Chain A
Amino acid sequence: MQAEQRIVDELCKKFDFFKDRIFVQRQKRIFTLPLATEEFEQVIHFIHDEMGFYKASHVVGTDDGDDLGFIYILSNREGIIFALKEKAPKSDPRINTVTDVFPSLDFHERELVNLFGADVKGLKGDSSYPLPDGWPKGNYPLRKDWNPKYFDNNTMTYNPPTNESNKEGQTNESE
């Protein structure tokens, strides 16, 4: 795991905030702990431009309670996978697009918008993906508090019991 450790050491040397927040999970796997947006911006450009992580496979969105998590799965020519994490509060889930560096992440970032309610700044195009047109506004199906049993396929409305309908962001206003 020398190659993986070299990458970790170089990043720790370059960015102070990586101390104790990046680790080799196993051979060909490097994981980080979630970074704030400004830290993330610095790292993603550096590892793409300077460290040969040219390929972005996808972004995994996660619901982490008060935050939304975003895990960018990147890899280099040796097949080492780098799971770079970013987080943003649900109250203000703003992140910046990385499609300028990784154009292949277009669909994946649109998925973060549709399914998690992330606000991806700079992402081009406004068409809905992968949810159908007319999906009720404020309904983000991959958030943990969204329950499919309250969704009516025929009317395309989300009808939770009263105590749940008051929750933030759960409305039936059509987009």
Chain B
Amino acid sequence: MNPNKDSNRIVIPIGPQHPSLKEPGCFTITLEGEKVVHADIGIGYNHRGLEKACESRNYIQTLYLIERVCGICSHTHSTAFCQGLEELAELSIPRRAAYIRVIVSELERLHSHLLWLGVAGHEIGFDTLFMYSWRDREKVLDVLAEVCGNRVNYGINTIGGVRRDIDDTMLQNILKVVDFLQDQLKYYLDLAMTDTMLSARLAGIGRLSKEDARKYGAVGPVARAAGIMEDIRIIEPYAAYTEVPVKPITDTHADVFGRTVVRILEMLESLEIIRFSIKNLPGGDIAVKAPRRIPAGEVISRTEAPRGENIHFIRSNGSDILERVRVRAPTEANWHGMKHMLEGEYLSDVPITIAAIDPCYSCADRAVVVNSGSKTEVMDWQSLRQYSIDWHKKRGVDVSSIKMPERKKYL
């Protein structure tokens, strides 16, 4: 803590590495007593140069890179990318492929929201909720692994459709998980609506009014919890959402409590969408042949990710390598309102306020940057370990002889 001599204000940096943050971000909080009077947001610690990397790979290779923009909502990125290219190449994907995209998309929404519910529970000291919701999330991940071969980064999309079909056994297993989650989600909704401790901890926290949500360009559950009905599945239906009914979910609390309710209701709606899609799943092919070279042009493709509107701008030049891609993930839109949400809050509410936008800083760092005096070094894992050993040695502690314990196997 750095006391500011000019006033009673105290400046606390939270992050880039901090127990309350699941990924690196730096929030510089200025306090007056316990109250946040100013907040600065520092992001960019996870920038991996994906867009530059895409400019030197062909479209299929790029598809796999784009899927790795996010480890949680990877399907929404590959869907936005594929449908952008399909628009440029004037491809119409088979209906069955469009339905499979929707089923995987809603399973992804379920596991993303369940993950968030657990993190939110953890941030407010309600670890039982964390364990319950993550237990339920495992069921969704299991069924995703069965359908796609992977728990995350599913690799089901391809340009022109999907790579894998879903057979009857898989469909029955998905329905079993859907039925299981129906009861669980009703319980969580009941909990949110009736548990006084939970509502006392969440209501009135991290407020972002409807006007401010519009001003700062908030998207997804953050905007919908402020009463703004913006859902790309409804305002610009894509894939099979042109045929599958989607009920708009909004709330007017405009705080963390509202965002919690919206996400639980959205999960219940996802169950209905999956049931409808399975019941009406058409037969036929799952993909059409796509050209290696995509005709020159520009396209803006968007999808409704679990965290909100996901936009991909793609410029092609007629070759098999794209000219430019720009991914605007939903968290990028929700950062701007964060500063506004934090100011006026108490310090103890900062972690849950940050968590409530469900921030995704992207999931894997390629390097660690260490500042030593005026010099900056980018270190890989081994260099970082050596740096740590040397740092301790200089201070009289030799940790190099410590052996890492064998990892236990629980299988």
Contacts and interface: CB of A to CB of B under 8 A. Distances in A.
Interface of A: 25-26, 28-29, 31, 54-58, 60-63, 71, 73, 78-79, 81, 83, 102-104, 106-107, 127-134, 141-142, 144, 148, 153-154, 156
Given A134-B375, A142-B52, 4 more contacts: A73-B311, A104-B217, A130-B47, A133-B369
22 contacts: A55-B214, A57-B217, A57-B333, A60-B324, A73-B328, A78-B235, A79-B232, A79-B235, A81-B302, A83-B300, A103-B216, A106-B336, A107-B332, A107-B336, A127-B42, A129-B44, A130-B43, A132-B44, A141-B49, A148-B49, A154-B378, A156-B376
B246 to A, nearest CB: 14
Contacts, number: 91
Secondary structure at the B interface, as helix, strand, loop or mixed, is mixed
B315 A131 contact: no
A131 B44 contact: yes
Given A55-B214, A58-B328, A103-B336, A132 B376 contact: yes
A81 B376 contact: no
B326 interface: yes
Nearest to B313: A60
B52 A148 contact: yes
Interface of B: 42-44, 47, 49, 51-53, 55, 87, 214-217, 230, 232, 235-236, 298, 300, 302, 309, 311, 313, 315, 323-324, 326, 328, 332-333, 335-336, 367, 369, 371, 375-378
Nearest to A55: B217
A129 B367 CA distance: 16
A106 B311 CA distance: 18
A58 B326 contact: yes
A168 to B, nearest CB: 20
Contact of B311 (A25, A58, A128): A58
Contacts of A63: 324
A104 B336 contact: yes
B378 A133 contact: no
A153 B51 contact: no
Nearest to A74: B217
B300 A73 contact: yes
B324 A58 contact: no
A63 B309 CA distance: 26
Contact of A107 (B53, B214, B335): B335
Nearest to B383: A154
Contacts of B232: 79
A112 B244 CA distance: 39
A133 B44 contact: no
Contacts of B53: 148
B378 A156 contact: yes
Contacts of B326: 58, 60-61
B236 A28 contact: yes
A133 B371 contact: yes
B376 A104 contact: no
Contacts of A129: 42-44
A57 B214 CA distance: 11
Nearest to B87: A26
Contacts of B87: 26
B265 to A, nearest CB: 22
Given A57-B311, A104-B336, A134 B43 contact: no
Contacts of A134: 371, 375-376
A14 B198 CA distance: 54
A162 B323 CA distance: 26
Nearest to B327: A58
A107 B375 CA distance: 26
Contacts of A60: 313, 324, 326
Contacts of B216: 103-104
Quick one: which of B217, B298, B309, B323 has the most chain A CB within 10 A?
B217
A126 to B, nearest CB: 13
Given A29-B300, A57-B217, A142-B52, A133 B376 contact: yes
Contacts of A83: 298, 300
Nearest to A128: B44
Given A55-B217, A142-B52, A79 B298 contact: no
B332 A58 contact: yes
Contacts of B300: 29, 73, 81, 83
Contacts of B215: 54, 103-104
